[in-house]
Structures are given as structure tokens and as C-alpha cells.
Amino acid sequence: MFSGRITPEQLRGRLAPGGPWVDLVCLGTTDSTNGVAMEMAEAGAPHGTVVVADGQTGGRGRHGRRWVSPPGRNVYASLIVRPEMPVSEASGLSLAAGVALADAAERAGVPALLKWPNDLYLGDRKAAGILVETAVGQGGARHAVVGVGINVNLAGDEIPAEIRGKATSLRIRAGREFSRAEVLALFLDAFARRYAEFAAGGFKAIHPAWERRDMLRGRRVLVLRAGEEARGVALGVAGDGALRFRPDASGAEERLFSGEILEFETILSREAKDTGCFS
Ligand code: BTN
């Protein structure tokens, strides 16, 4: 029912008036919307350009992984932004985008959590991810592309075996299908609001909205940082966007500005521990 290609008219009809979205480029299946958007940005496309595709043949995920992108099922979109800030601060963009994702899911009626740095989780499974690519110029980021993949109507049997058990979709979680244009418009509106807050006040301005969805706080985690794995406890996200992490080995709090959470203690195993089922 919602598998048709997203059109600029559908999006325009749903977006809040006065937003920054100046150009909505809706493609069929393409290689990667981030790739297309980076090329458009290099060629001078303005801040507020959105590239959305029906499917991707070379969807890019973080850490060089591929992003599963079957046609007609999900949202694959890349936003061109021209942040007037140093590159170091522009890294907060992806955290802001994560908050916008959670806002959008909640507006769609599906409560969501964030896994640092910017994965959207529904329960203990990932439903959306963000890949920010930046081109650096003199004095700061020349432009950035904020790529977002949201599993919207993906069915359980469409999830590849290697990520089954780890991935989910709005449809799987809510038990109904969603309009992909509606979900994308909710995200674009939310991103416009969070971007404005971030541009005015940095990550600190949206820190409370992040903290309220933090799924790792107080959980045991396995972290990959600086090429090494470490077990410990995630203590929350600081006002500058760093992950506060206490490794078992030293017991001294660290602040991680980059890294990856390889494993985390699930709510299920925590509950099982509380009832004595796990040692
Ligand atoms: C992640 O690994 O969690 C990030 C996934 C980002 C995927 C999106 S889909 C739209 C955009 N185009 C891409 O090639 N990647 C991003």
C-alpha cells in the first residue's frame, strides 16, 4: 500500500511551512543517496537540498559496512547542509540527526531510543542509522551530507540472515505499515528544528533530548576505541557529545569522541540477572 515512489509533492504537502528544504530530489533506485548528494554539493547545490531514493544498490553504512536498501520499503535520504562552524563542532551534527530520528519515530507513534553515537533503536534492535560525510574547506566544514536510512516497512523475512535478531523496522515494531513520505517528512521537520537548536547553542542545546533516549546509560558494554576492545560501563553522554565510559581495567572514567559499541547488555539479560537466571 505504501510501496510507491516518494514524490516531491507528497513531501511538500506534509512538511511544516517555512522550513529550510529548498529542493527535494526524488530518485528511483540509485547507487547511494550520500554519493549523489556529495556530488551535488561539490557542484554547488544549496543548503537544504534533499536527495531521496526508492532503493540503493550501494547503500553505505558506518565503518565501511553496507546498508541494506531494498526498493519500496524504507527511507534512504541524504540532506545537504552547509554548517558555519569548525569541523570539530560539525561532528555534533550526527548526534543532532539522531535526536531528530527519535523525535520523528515518536511523532509516528513508536517510542524510540538512541545508541551512541547515533543509532535509532526500537527495543533492543536497530531500526535506523546515520552516516555523515563532510568536505572540509578553509576554516571549517565546506558542506556536510547527513545520510539517514530508516527501516520503515521492512518485513522480518526481508532482513538478511547476518543481521536478523539485531535489526527491526517501524512496521515490525508497531504491527502496521507506514507512509514512507510521512516518515521522511516527520524526520525533515524534526531535523530542521534540531539543526536550528544545534547551530545556535551547540550539542549542549539538545543534550537533554539525547539523554532522555539514551539506551546505554548504566549498561555494561564492549567498546572498540582507538583500535582496541574494552569492557566496562557506559555512564551516559556528556554535554559535548562524548560517551562517558568506565573501563573495567582501570576503573577511571574516559570520554570517547569516536568509537563503536560492539556489544551491550540487553534489557532481557539484565532482567534475567535480576531474577537470578544469569550469573
Ligand atoms: C549506519 O551504518 O548506521 C549508517 C547507515 C546510513 C544509511 C543511509 S541510507 C541513505 C544514505 N545513503 C547511503 O549510502 N547511506 C545513508
Euclidean distance between CA atoms 261 and 192, whole angstroms: 28
Ligand 1 centre distance from Cα of residue 230 (Å): 26
SS3 state of residue 208: helix
Based on its alpha-carbon atoms, the radius of gyration of the chain, rounded to whole angstroms, reads 19
Burial 132-152 (b: 16+ CB within 10 A, else e): bbbeeeeebbebbbbbbbbbb
Asked whether residue 143 is domain-assigned, the answer is: yes
- 244 in the same domain as 166: no
Which positions ≥6 away from 166 have C-beta within 8 Å? 125, 126
Domain identity same for 123 and 175 = yes
Do residues 68 and 141 both lie within one domain?
yes
Ligand 1 in reach of 147 Cβ (< 6 A): yes
pTM of this prediction? 0.93
Domain CATH for 267: 2.30.30.100
Distance CA 193, CA 189 (A): 6
User: Is 2 contained in some domain?
Assistant: no
Burial of 261 (C-beta count, 10 Å sphere; 0-12/13-18/19+): buried
Counting atoms of ligand 1 from 1, which one is nearest the CA of 60?
Answer: 14
What pLDDT, on a 0 to 100 scale, did the predictor assign at position 61? 96
Query: Looking at the domain assignment, is residue 1 inside a domain?
Result: no
Q: Is residue 172 part of a domain?
A: yes
Pair 119, 39 in one domain: yes
Last residue of a domain, one of 211, 229, 248: 211
pLDDT at 153: 97
CATH number at residue 52: 3.30.930.10
Residue appearing with cell numbers 547515533 = 118
CB 97 near ligand 1, within 6 Å: no
Question: Are 198 and 224 members of one domain?
Answer: no
Nearest Cα to Cα of residue 241 among 133, 121, 93, 134: 93
Q: Record the cell numbers describing residue 94, joined without a space.
A: 550526527
- Answer yes or no: do 207 and 248 share one domain: no
- Burial class for 78, CB neighbours closer than 10 Å (0-12, 13-18, 19+): buried
Decide whether any atom of ligand 1 lies within 6 Å of the 37 Cβ: no
Residues 46 and 111 in one domain: yes
Bridge partners (DSSP) listed for residue 135: 143
CA distances from 132 to 7, 34, 60, 171, 182 (A): 24, 9, 11, 25, 23
pLDDT score of 276: 34
Helix or strand holding residue 55 (H, E): strand 49-56
Let me know if residue 279 belongs to a domain. no
Residue 271 has what pLDDT?
A: 45
Q: For residue 130, report the distance from its CA to the centre of ligand 1, in Å.
A: 6
Candidate from 25, 60, 73, 261 with most ligand 1 atoms within 8 A of CB, to mutate: 60
Are 46 and 132 in the same domain?
yes
Q: Does the residue 60 lie in any domain? A: yes
Determine whether the shortest distance from the Cβ of 60 to ligand 1 is under 6 A: yes
Same structural domain for residues 262 and 178? no
Q: What is the pLDDT of residues 36-55, one digit of tens each?
A: 999 999 999 999 999 999 99
Q: What pLDDT does 142 receive?
A: 86
Q: Is residue 93 part of a domain?
A: yes
> Structurally, how many domains does the chain consist of?
2
Q: Are residues 197 and 226 in the same domain?
A: no
Last residue of a domain, one of 211, 239, 258: 211
C-alpha distances in angstroms, 73 versus 79, 91, 105, 245?
20, 29, 16, 36
234 burial level (CB within 10 Å; 0-12, 13-18, 19+):
buried
* 187 Cβ below 6 A of ligand 1: no
Judge whether 3 lies within some domain. Answer: no
Domain that holds residue 42: 8-211
- 177 and 240 part of one domain: no
Same-domain check for residues 225 and 103: no
Using the mean position of ligand 1's atoms as its centre, give its distance from the Cα of residue 234 in Å: 25
Diameter over CA atoms, the chain: 60
- Out of 211, 238, 255, pick the residue that ends a domain: 211
Question: What are the residue ranges in the chain where pLDDT is below 50?
Answer: 268, 270-279
Q: What is d(CA 122, CA 143) in angstroms, rounded to the nearest whole number?
A: 31
